[in-house]
């Protein structure tokens, strides 16, 4: 069982219990068990779902019907870079060239194995919420309990959690200061590893802003409105500016690693309206390229 206790803030506007559970993105299945098991308490007393919550109320939720299917082998975590952690989630930085998670039972050597090793110290385990390509580095959020998995997934789905990427490209004078790429993306019939822009592909939308440039290179900030495989990489290649070092979409490959980084997450915390921005410093290699004359 997992118990959550929330004290409603002083500026809270009176809201029915059922509506507040929806605002917290609690799945209907779990709402059902909270009601029939009388596992929602307001100021230590069970209240029906049509009751109003008021500022200052203490809401206690006891979850007993939680699935917990994810189990991963623990790895050494000494090199793990942690950028944020609380009782529900952890945000870490994935290096380039390691996988986000295992694909086979018993597999080790992925970021998720490292996080599993770290959380094992406190008898916890990680739950995957999203991924980065193996060649991409940057911030990834993992849940620390099964309760917040559907809540955070819903916030990702509804674009309440925002992810921002940096990509370094060769300078193109036709790249505007800000723009949007809406080309549909589908499979490349000639290479199962790749995707391509094609009319029968799935809708895809990428927004970008030009952050910095010199005579040779440009740094873009990108956000995803959709989540297609390789979306940023395919969209920039489609514009004729593949990401520097992209092993699949830049020909010939001009640098031995992909210069794409998930550098910021605007995170909406579970059971809260609080938003926090988590950001990594610009990678040193970006400054190296932009410093060139």
CATH number at residue 57: 3.10.290.10
User: Which residue, among 37, 51, 33, has the nearest Cα to 147 in the 3D structure?
Assistant: 33
The reply to whether 49 and 72 lie within a common domain is no
The reply to whether 135 and 51 lie within a common domain is no
C-beta separation of 233 from 134 below 8 A: no
The reply to whether 101 and 134 lie within a common domain is yes
The reply to whether 215 and 231 lie within a common domain is yes
- Per-residue DSSP letters for 221-282? EEEESS--TTHHHHHHHHTT-PBTT-TTTSSS--SSS--EEEEEEEEEPTTS--EEEEEPPP
The reply to whether 178 and 239 lie within a common domain is yes
Omega before residue 252 within 30° of 0, cis: yes
Which residue is it, tokens 């990108």? 222
Query: Per mean pLDDT, which range of 9-13, 38-42, 43-47, 103-107 is the poorest?
Result: 103-107
Alpha-carbon distance of 264 to 267, in angstroms, equals 9
Which pTM was predicted?
0.90
Give the chain's domain count.
3
Alpha-carbon distance of 224 to 273, in angstroms, equals 22
Strand partners, 202: 185
Give me the domain span that covers residue 12: 2-63
Alpha-carbon distance of 176 to 229, in angstroms, equals 25
Percent of the chain with pLDDT over 70: 99
- Domain annotation covers residue 277: no
3-class DSSP string for 66-81: CCCCCCCCCCCCCCCE
The reply to whether 136 and 218 lie within a common domain is no
Alpha-carbon distance of 17 to 189, in angstroms, equals 51
Mean pLDDT of the 186-199 span: 95
Alpha-carbon distances, residue 192 vs 99, 214, 237 (angstroms): 18, 36, 17
Whether 246 shows a pLDDT value over 80: the answer reads yes
What sections of the chain are H helices per DSSP? 17-23, 28-36, 111-120, 148-157, 231-238, 284-290
53-96 confidence digits (pLDDT tens): 999 999 999 998 777 767 889 999 999 999 999 999 999 999 99
The reply to whether 44 and 14 lie within a common domain is yes
The reply to whether 56 and 73 lie within a common domain is no
Q: Which of 158, 188, 210 is the last residue of a domain?
A: 158
Length of the chain: 293
The reply to whether 136 and 191 lie within a common domain is no
- Domain annotation covers residue 289: no
- Domain annotation covers residue 276: no
The reply to whether 254 and 171 lie within a common domain is yes
Confidence of residue 103 (pLDDT cuts 50, 70, 90): confident
- Domain annotation covers residue 24: yes
- Domain annotation covers residue 291: no
Q: What is the CA radius of gyration of the chain?
A: 22
The reply to whether 89 and 133 lie within a common domain is yes
- Domain annotation covers residue 19: yes
Whether 145 shows a pLDDT value over 80: the answer reads yes
Confidence of residue 287 (pLDDT cuts 50, 70, 90): confident
Which residue is it, tokens 């094609």? 198
How many contiguous H segments (helices) and E segments (strands) does the chain have?
6, 18
Alpha-carbon distances, residue 217 vs 231, 241, 242, 243 (angstroms): 21, 10, 12, 10
- Catalytic residue positions, numbered: 133
Q: What is the per-residue pLDDT for 273?
A: 82
Q: What is the per-residue pLDDT for 290?
A: 87
Q: What is the per-residue pLDDT for 291?
A: 82
Mean pLDDT of the 134-158 span: 94
Q: Which of 41, 63, 85 is the last residue of a domain?
A: 63
The reply to whether 44 and 103 lie within a common domain is no
- Domain annotation covers residue 280: no
CATH number at 134 reads 3.30.2350.10
Mean pLDDT of the 142-163 span: 94
Task: Give the SS3 label for residue 242.
Answer: coil
Buried-state track 112-135, b at ≥16 Cβ within 10 A, e below 16: bbbbbbbbeeeebbbbbbbbbbeb
Q: What is the per-residue pLDDT for 293?
A: 54
Confidence of residue 49 (pLDDT cuts 50, 70, 90): very high
Q: Which of 22, 45, 63 is the last residue of a domain?
A: 63
Handedness of CA 43, 46, 49, 50 (dihedral sign): negative
Whether 274 shows a pLDDT value over 90: the answer reads no
Whether 194 shows a pLDDT value over 70: the answer reads yes
- Per-residue DSSP letters for 154-177? HHHHTT-SEEEEEEEEE--TT--S
- Domain annotation covers residue 209: yes
């Amino acid at each position: 069982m997992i118990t959550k206790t929330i004290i409603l803030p002083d500026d809270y506007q009176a809201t029915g219990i059922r509506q507040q559970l929806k605002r917290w993105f609690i799945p209907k299945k779990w709402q059902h068990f909270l009601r029939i098991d009388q596992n929602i308490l307001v100021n230590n007393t069970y209240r029906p779902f049509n009751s109003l919550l008021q500022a200052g109320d203490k809401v206690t939720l006891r979850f007993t019907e939680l699935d917990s299917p994810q189990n991963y082998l623990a790895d050494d975590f000494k090199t793990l870079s942690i950028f944020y952690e609380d009782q529900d989630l952890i945000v870490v930085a994935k290096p380039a060239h390691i996988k986000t998670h295992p694909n086979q039972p018993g597999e080790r050597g992925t970021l998720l194995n490292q996080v599993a090793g770290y959380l094992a110290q406190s008898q916890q385990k990680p739950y995957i919420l999203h991924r980065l390509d193996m060649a991409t580095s940057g911030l990834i959020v993992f849940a620390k309990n099964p309760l917040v998995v559907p809540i955070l997934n819903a916030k990702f789905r509804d674009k309440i959690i925002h992810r921002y990427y940096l990509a370094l490209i060769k300078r193109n004078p036709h790249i505007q200061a800000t723009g949007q790429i809406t080309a549909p993306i589908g499979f490349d019939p000639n290479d199962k590893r790749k995707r391509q822009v094609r009319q029968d592909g799935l809708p895809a939308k990428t927004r970008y802003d030009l952050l910095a440039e010199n005579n040779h290179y440009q740094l873009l900030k990108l956000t995803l409105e959709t989540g297609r495989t390789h979306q940023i990489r395919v969209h920039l290649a489609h514009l004729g500016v593949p990401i520097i070092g992209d092993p699949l979409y830049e020909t010939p490959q001009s640098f031995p690693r992909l210069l794409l980084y998930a550098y910021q997450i605007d995170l909406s915390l579970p059971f809260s309206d609080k938003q926090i921005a988590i950001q990594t410093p610009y990678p040193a290699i970006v400054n190296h390229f932009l410093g060139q004359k």
